[in-house]
Structure 1
Amino acid sequence: MLGSAEPEEAVSLMDAALRSGRLDRLDVARAAAAGRPGCRRAEPWWSRADGRSESALETRARLVLVDGGLLPEQLQWLVRDESGVPVARVDLAYPSRRVAVEADGVRFHVGAGGNRGASGVAWTRDGVDPVFRDRRRQNALARLDWKIVRVTWFDVVDQPLEVIANVRGALSSRPA
């Protein structure tokens, strides 16, 4: 299976299996795959798996950044305000520089599981449009002097060099 997949697809599958609990140890799966067709080609992919990624988009964004020499310091990082109150959990983070990368997926932002009101806005079960929720979070992060780089599927698949440049630019504009 992994031998025929592209690296990004294979790592996304590994991440999903780890996150869901269907796979708790990569070394066991890796040993089971040994000797199978495509095993050698897939060898470098095992070390790239991380069950903290919550979507294929987050995995692909992380892989783009790693390939660009920008390994995120944290995944699913909880940002707290000065009083220790949680403000946001960001997808990919460089806390030492206060830079967050947010992977904006269509399914979440179009209101998966939500309803559309008369205005055409997607409302989730908690009654808040995901786009509005993201804007509130982004404003809260900005108050704490965090810089946010937003990426989409199109960005990471069709414009990875731009993603790398945007994150590199955000990191270079922040004191270490």
Structure 2
Amino acid sequence: MERLEVGVREELVRRATRPMRQGELLGLGLQKYEIERLLRNGHLRYAHARYVNGRTDPRIAVIACAQAAHPKSVVSHFTAAEVAGLRVWTNQDSRPSPDAVWLTCEPGPRRNLKRTDVVLRRAGLIEADLQLRDGIWLTTDARTTVDIARELPVREAVTTVDHVLSRGVCRADLEAVLARQRRWPGIRNARTAVALSDPRSESALESYARVVFVESGLQTPILQVQFWNGTRWLTERVDFWWPQFRTVGEADGLEKFEAATASERRRLLRRSFERDQRLADLGLELVHFGWEDAVRRPANLIHRFETAFARASHRTDPTPTWRPAP
């Protein structure tokens, strides 16, 4: 039996380029109890009534099986972003069925499907919307981004738009998708998110906060700049800069501190204090903020910036020399 199992495993490796139903495995000469043993031993994975080779990454296995269960579908929306490595940030309850596999297929007699394990959208697809990654057909990064931007509030959608632009997707590609979807649900949100996007944002927090600034009427900041201290350009760059108000904004996510050891955390804090002192020596106003401020207390955050602007307005010394960071 072990020889049979080895032979079966080799056959599965050769043929498991796609998920298979139980009947196909039985057609290879397997018995049901042998399939169960292969599952227990990790030589097979099972999801959505399909089997794939056990070497397949667990999440990719689930995605591939879900896609196979819905013929002619492509992986899309949040799942396509996951496969492609696009940055997505959603507030609590913004995204329905966060663990579901999102798929899109051409319109047909059946309606959209929304379950905890699968979300299937029926919408037009053209060849320019498709790409192949890890053996899975999914929507292109441009199509994925616009689809996500139609699903999410603008503040959250901009996070993905900023990231995809920073990875080299052209704004024209996004505009082309927007044009094809001009009458689709959520397209106004998507257009706004694309219009507000800036590839210089280096984190989800920076993207989210920038939209908070715009929606609150705060003047638009310049992103990622360096300062001249009189003898050299400072190596550090700041997230947001309002030259007319001599004010710097720093988006401080806590991830780097939470993941650090105690000694690394002390070193990071010391470097942060030294950096802040160098900026203060230039006569700059400095406002640090985090996710709690941007998401839960945006009005208070805007007030902090307006207060910093007011303080800076009383200064008479010249604004430090600055430049966009290379």
Normalised by the size of structure 1, how large is the TM-score? 0.84
Matched residue SS, 2:211 = helix
2:154 is the counterpart of 1:7: yes
Match of 1:39?
A: 187
Query: Within 5 A, what are the aligned runs for 1:62-81?
Result: 62-81=210-229
Q: Distance in 1 between matches of 2:307 and 2:213?
A: 13
Alignment partner for residue 239 of structure 2, among 84, 87, 91? Answer: 91
Verify the 8 A CA contact 1:88 1:141 in the aligned structure 2: no
**Which consecutive aligned stretches of 4+ in structure 1 deviate over 3 angstroms post-superposition?**
none
Alignment partner for residue 207 of structure 2, among 44, 51, 59? Answer: 59
Q: Distance in 2 between matches of 1:68 and 1:40?
A: 19
Q: Count matched residues.
A: 164
Q: Distance in 1 between matches of 2:188 and 2:250?
A: 33
| Cα drift, residue 87 of structure 1 | 5.1
Question: Kindly tell me: are residues 97 and 134 of structure 1, through their superposed partners in 2, closer, same or farther at Cα, counting changes over 3 Å?
Answer: same
Match of 2:163?
A: 16
| Percent identical | 30
Q: Distance in 1 between matches of 2:267 and 2:197?
A: 31
Q: Distance in 1 between matches of 2:220 and 2:232?
A: 23
State the one-letter code of the partner of 2:157: A
Bigger relative CO (Cα 8 Å, ≥ 6 apart): 1
Q: Distance in 2 between matches of 1:73 and 1:7?
A: 18
Consecutive unaligned residues in structure 2, runs of 5 or more: 1-146, 316-326
Matched residue SS, 2:244 = coil
Matched residue SS, 1:54 = coil
Normalised by the size of structure 2, how large is the TM-score? 0.47
Consecutive unaligned residues in structure 1, runs of 5 or more: none
1:38-93 Cα shifts (integer Å, max 9, x gaps): 22332222110000000010111111111122133310111221223315311001
Verify the 8 A CA contact 2:166 2:200 in the aligned structure 1: yes
Bigger Rg over Cα? 2
Aligned-pair Cα RMSD in Å:
1.9
Q: Distance in 2 between matches of 1:165 and 1:65?
A: 11
| Cα drift, residue 98 of structure 1 | 1.7
Matched residue SS, 1:40 = helix
Matched residue SS, 2:198 = coil
Q: Distance in 2 between matches of 1:100 and 1:87?
A: 15
Q: Which region of structure 1 is more displaced relative to structure 2, 55-64 or 70-79? A: 70-79
Question: Kindly tell me: are residues 131 and 72 of structure 1, through their superposed partners in 2, closer, same or farther at Cα, counting changes over 3 Å?
Answer: farther
Query: Within 5 A, what are the aligned runs for 1:120-135?
Result: 120-122=262-264, 129-135=267-273
Alignment partner for residue 29 of structure 1, among 159, 163, 174? Answer: 174
Question: Kindly tell me: are residues 64 and 40 of structure 1, through their superposed partners in 2, closer, same or farther at Cα, counting changes over 3 Å?
Answer: closer
1:9-31 Cα shifts (integer Å, max 9, x gaps): 2100010111222x1x2232121
